[in-house]
Amino acid sequence: TQGVNELTAATRPDGRLVIGATVMQSYLHTDGDLGDYRLVDATDPRQPQPLSDWDQRRKMSPESQGETDAVPTDYHIHSSRFSADGMMAWLAAWDGGVVALDLAVVGDPVVAAVLPAGPTTAGNVHSVAIDPSARLLIRSDEDLNPIAADGEAPGWGGQTLYDISDVGRVEPLGEFRSPNAGDEELVPSYSGFFSAHEAEIADGIEYVAAYSDGLRIVDIAEPEDPVEIGSFVPPPALDKHGHWKAYDGTPAFPLVWGVEVVDELIYLSDVNTGLWIVRLSTPDGDVSGVGVL
């Protein structure tokens, strides 16, 4: 396989600690024997027990898993989040959109909803964030090619906000894109990488790791109209490994990859400069207490 990309844990009402791990392209590398999404009982961490594995491709025809109109379609489970009680899992399934799994019987996941990637996006559903109230889900698309192709939206990857209070009737509410991501009206920047990557939700605020647009802080009290209230962008730096190369040749740029919020502190990882620790000091988005490791 390509290894575990992401894992989360939840304690279920029966007291069991369950881990959900996304093991990307297991389905391909094992000829379908193991799905990309693995569920493990870790109540006794000395003896973790596999519970089930799941993959959407098991119910798809071989033709639908291949190429459509000469555009490669990539189905894999990239990341996942549990509901607070561990009875539901939401999977970011790349070109397969977002999949909600009912885990009432954790050994037998059942599809409760599918939110397609959409015909006007490049797919690449990288991750999801869930409001603790279980009313709001934010989908982040990792589109690293800002050049519009036929049938695709121009610009870098953005976000879609959904009302998931009724899993049977999930509705899109609004969208958010970082300042340099571009869209049908705004030309994207080519001096770095400006896609959404990961997000966290805390106290009605969304914190977005947006690559070269750094950390974006977004008020989502009205999810139909998310409003950016602050940001923190690390200084530009060279990629020491030479992997990331800006489209316009810019040699150095920020590259914020991940974000985590713990109490009043925000931790963000920049591929090129390290781990930054910042604090949201005022309601209007000012950031202070900056430190770097």
Residue-wise pLDDT for 153-199, tens only, equals 578 999 999 999 999 999 999 999 999 998 777 889 999 999 999 99
Q: How far, in whole angstroms, is CA 166 from its chain's centroid?
A: 21
SS3 state at 100:
strand
281-286 long-range contacts, CB within 8 A, separation 24+: 283/229, 284/229, 284/230, 285/217, 285/228, 285/229, 285/230, 285/231, 286/230
Tokens 């896609």, located at residue? 195
Q: CA 133, 6, 261 angle in degrees (round to 5)?
A: 45
Give the model's pLDDT for residue 263: 87
Give the model's pLDDT for residue 152: 59
C-alpha distances in Å from residue 66, one per residue of 57, 60, 122, 180: 11, 10, 16, 33
Give the model's pLDDT for residue 73: 72
Give the model's pLDDT for residue 69: 46
Could you say which residues of the chain have pLDDT below 50?
67-70
Rounded CA-CA distance 219/205 in Å is 5
Q: Under a CB-based contact definition with an 8 Å cutoff, are residues 125 and 117 in contact?
A: yes
What are the DSSP calls for 105-124, one per residue? Answer: STTS-EEEEEE---TTS---
The enclosing H or E element of 28 equals helix 26-29
Q: Under a CB-based contact definition with an 8 Å cutoff, are residues 267 and 260 in contact?
A: yes
Give the model's pLDDT for residue 148: 65
Beta carbons within 8 Å of 262's beta carbon, 6+ residues apart:
none
Q: How far, in whole angstroms, is CA 226 from its chain's centroid?
A: 17
Give the model's pLDDT for residue 64: 55
Give the model's pLDDT for residue 275: 96
Question: Is pTM, for the whole model, over 0.85?
Answer: yes
Give the model's pLDDT for residue 118: 65
Q: Under a CB-based contact definition with an 8 Å cutoff, are residues 259 and 267 in contact?
A: yes
- In this structure, what token pair is assigned to residue 57? 């491709």
